[in-house]
A and B are shown apart, each in its own frame.
Chain A
Amino acid sequence: MAGKIKILSAEELIKRRKVADQELPQRSGGVQKEFAPDGSWLQEKRIEKYYEDRQDLLNEERVEKLGLLARAHWNPANKIVELEKQVKFWQHVGYVEDGKLLLYPEEAVFLMEMGNLEIVYNDVPMSLQQAYSTLLAEEHSEDKYLVYSHLCRMGYLVHRYSHRPDITLYERLIGLTDSTTKKRKNKQNTNKDSKKCKNSEEKNDTDKVIKNSDVQMKDDKVETKEMKCDAILNNDKRTRVNTDYNVPNSTDDVQMDDTPHIDHLIDSNIAKVQKTQISASIDKARSSKDTMRTDPHLFIWDYENIHPFPNIAGKGNCIEITNCSPEFLPPDLEFNTESTILNLEKLTIWPKKLTAKQLQLEERKKSRQARQRDLEASNTVLQFSFPQMAGVVRKSTNCRCWSEYKLEPKKCKKETDLEELKGSPGGPLWKGDVVPLVRPSNARSTASILGRLKVVENIHFSNMNCSVTDAPKISFDVYLPSLQYKKSNPGLPNHRIVVTRVEDPPPDLAILSSLHQTKDGVPLHWAVIDSGDVSFFSFNDVSLGQDIYMG
């Protein structure tokens, strides 16, 4: 009965060696498909030719030089495949356990299909069929293998899904997660990003600070600082967007459009930065009677590269702030005039003429001392309590912790607003528990009113917090092929894959959201198997834009 399986003789084996890679025939003869059979001789010939080609194609056998085949042993007790020694493909596949080089079953079968590996059991090599029934014995494992081999044949590097819980998009952006080899790539990206930011900033005449910091960026270490600066710029942009009352999709925010959570992440990070700064300054203010002592935790942040203020600077050193909305100020501050002059000279932390040259070795010591002095001096200016400078008045607050402090501005604003409103002709509207959503103060643009009227918030997958117990599992992490790829530290995958069958119902919203819990922004794809056919689909978050005709 074994007669149907072709066993090549020595002559045939030798002959196959000589046959160089010939071109595979085209699937439909390389010509357009025809409409319907018309019984013509030509069509008959075409089909005949196709069958011949197909026979040749299927009669092809895997023939390899013995010396080029890696050998792996099947261990039936532990159900593992153990490689004899390290080989070329080891940098992409396999794992080490107890000092053994092991392969996952799908990797072993795939390498066998690629003609790289011989899996032996008691010294007898397996056929592909035996490998299928032995290694891919678990239920649905052949479906997963189908997806795995499909992606691998396309050139992707596919790994089993491994959950790396704590990587945020921000960490990914600054390259904390990636292996050193990937850094280069990342740096290019960040450079590009900062350039992008710079361009957009230039449009707004406010790039003095970036230029300053650009000069200082010299070595690789600056990379992360650069990102910080970048992030601050982003934040600046965000606040500007905020003051524009959240017009969705500001045009230069390409990055933010691509990834929904990025702005959120960066914002929160910036909030942290600013919080620290403010807390530092407030601490200082409280202890200002004491002599200047360098408190170590005040200097966690590298003030050389972080500017206390987002760069609002234009050409001059003084800028005028008009109608500064109290929402954006700390609760205990208040402008006492309509407009105020902000003197940036006082805000600049280091001496203005400090250039890259001065950073050279000989002068470094001197300048550091000078800077230290300046830093100490300017830290007093840094505090937000400079009434003499910004024309603001510090009110007293009685907050005990940060959360209270953060709630403060809203409270203040609400109270003052309400008092005003109650006194106005429409006063009765604002008395009682149910009050209008829109206040007169919101009537600055159509967008701001629409924003107030939006009762139902858009929800993103990652914010839904559903946990479903029997949700399908993510099967694979997919990486783009790259020379820098490192198996031990592959970084974040480019795609993730869930394998489903065509008879499975489509996932419901709860399952979807539970699978989108990882907040690292890696796209999740669903692979659907229909008796050997693989197709992919994915679910994407959509935020519906708001049409604004006026304002």
Chain B
Amino acid sequence: MIEIHIKNKKAYIWNSKDACTIREEYRIIGNLVGSHPKAPRQNYQLHLPLQLLPEETTLLVEKGVAILFNDDKPMLPPIEEDVQKFHESRKRSYEAQKELQLENRKMEIQNRKWEIIEGKKAKRMKKLKSENSTMAEDAAIDEAALEAEAEREVESMEITPIPQSSMQVQIFTGTPYVSESNRPLYSNWGFPSTHSELLRYRVFKDLWEQGHFLTAGGKFGGDFLVYPGDVAVFHSFYIVKCLPYKQKMSALDVVAMARLGSNVKKTVVLCSIDDNDQLCYTSLKWTGIS
């Protein structure tokens, strides 16, 4: 089940698995609104949470693949048990990291053992030479002994464990460790409730069921943008505008919409529900007779 969390009537997905599933399996795009952990100071590549359109949310629930949780309530005060648990887990993590760090360090020393020994030997030689420069020939005899000594030193080298302040901790994006009872379901997701919402939802659903990919259309002044394939790979074909069936429009509005569509190489599609409760689509095209 896809887990959708509703906060202030906005739908968010907080785990990466669901965020990928809805895109790949259900063609639901949504909008990432969080900062990316690796490169937080840019707006180009964002990260969780993934915010969903109300239409997307309702559709997922209606298809029976998603479940809504209530996120309106602030975090409950952690009880003593939770605090204990948390401290323990952090301590465990620290101990484990300390061990791993020690091992890593040892490995590193082993890998570079000969370099270290060489260095130590050279240092020792230099010291000896400066002490008694006359006994130059004796230095040669000492070499093997020096090497052995340096090796012994390396073997017994002490490694200071990392302090707790340099342990790695994870800042959680979604909330882990939550018992089922603390996750109330969201009961009154009232979308769609008005006529215009219903129109938008019916249009969204119909186009989605036809196999299109849809996103919010604010960028081009429409209700939705319709893509033939995944949004990242293809350009959108249509700008969808939802209008009541009997809405009067001035010719100027029509010209403005058609003009916009032709300027961005998309087709403007006017959508509404007719008197027989059927969806009807009308596309606008800019023509000239010459």
Neighbour of A127 across the interface among B39, B45, B173, CB < 8 A: B173
Q: Is residue B241 contacting chain A, with contact meaning CB distance below 8 A?
A: no
Set of chain A residues within 8 Å of B24, measured between Cβ atoms: 51
Which residues of A in the span 480-520 have a Cβ within 8 Å of any Cβ on B? 502
Q: Check A532–B31 contact: CB distance below 8 A.
A: yes
Quote the shortest CB–CB distance from B125 to chain A (angstroms). Answer: 36
Q: Check A532–B170 contact: CB distance below 8 A.
A: no
Q: Check B74–A35 contact: CB distance below 8 A.
A: no
Interface size of A by Cβ–Cβ distance < 8 Å?
85
**Number of A-B contacts defined by CB within 8 Å:** 259
Which residues of A in the span 1-47 have a Cβ within 8 Å of any Cβ on B? 1-2, 4-11, 13-14, 16-17, 21-22, 24-25, 27-29, 33-37, 43, 46-47
Q: Check B77–A121 contact: CB distance below 8 A.
A: yes
Q: Most chain-A CB neighbours within 10 Å: which of B48, B96, B173?
A: B173
| Proximity string of chain B (202-222) to chain A, C-beta cutoff 8 Å, 1 when within and 0 when not | 000000000000001011000
Q: Check A57–B83 contact: CB distance below 8 A.
A: no
| Proximity string of chain B (79-101) to chain A, C-beta cutoff 8 Å, 1 when within and 0 when not | 00011001100001100110011
Which of B6-14, B138-146, B246-254 is near enough to bind chain A? B6-14
Neighbour of A24 across the interface among B39, B74, B176, CB < 8 A: B39
In the complex, A416 Cα to B212 Cα: how many Å? Answer: 80
Q: Check A153–B164 contact: CB distance below 8 A.
A: no
Set of chain B residues within 8 Å of A29, measured between Cβ atoms: 232-233
Q: Check A58–B16 contact: CB distance below 8 A.
A: yes
A19 to B, closest residue via Cβ: B38
Q: Check B174–A59 contact: CB distance below 8 A.
A: no
Quote the shortest CB–CB distance from A320 to chain B (angstroms). Answer: 60
In the complex, A358 Cα to B48 Cα: how many Å? Answer: 71
Which residues of B in the span 142-180 have a Cβ within 8 Å of any Cβ on A? 163-178, 180
Set of chain B residues within 8 Å of A115, measured between Cβ atoms: 37, 40, 171
Set of chain A residues within 8 Å of B170, measured between Cβ atoms: 7-8, 13, 61-63
Q: Check B218–A535 contact: CB distance below 8 A.
A: yes
Q: Check A125–B171 contact: CB distance below 8 A.
A: yes
Q: Is residue B23 contacting chain A, with contact meaning CB distance below 8 A?
A: yes
Q: Is residue B53 contacting chain A, with contact meaning CB distance below 8 A?
A: yes
Interchain residue pairs with CB less than 8 A apart (18)? A4-B3, A7-B170, A7-B172, A13-B168, A21-B38, A34-B234, A35-B234, A35-B235, A36-B234, A64-B171, A65-B165, A122-B77, A125-B172, A128-B48, A128-B172, A133-B73, A140-B8, A531-B216
New contact pairs (4) apart from A7-B172, A63-B170, CB-CB < 8 Å: A27-B44, A29-B233, A115-B37, A129-B172
Give 9 closest A-B pairs by Cβ, nearest first.
A67-B165, A532-B31, A530-B218, A10-B96, A127-B172, A58-B16, A13-B168, A62-B171, A134-B74
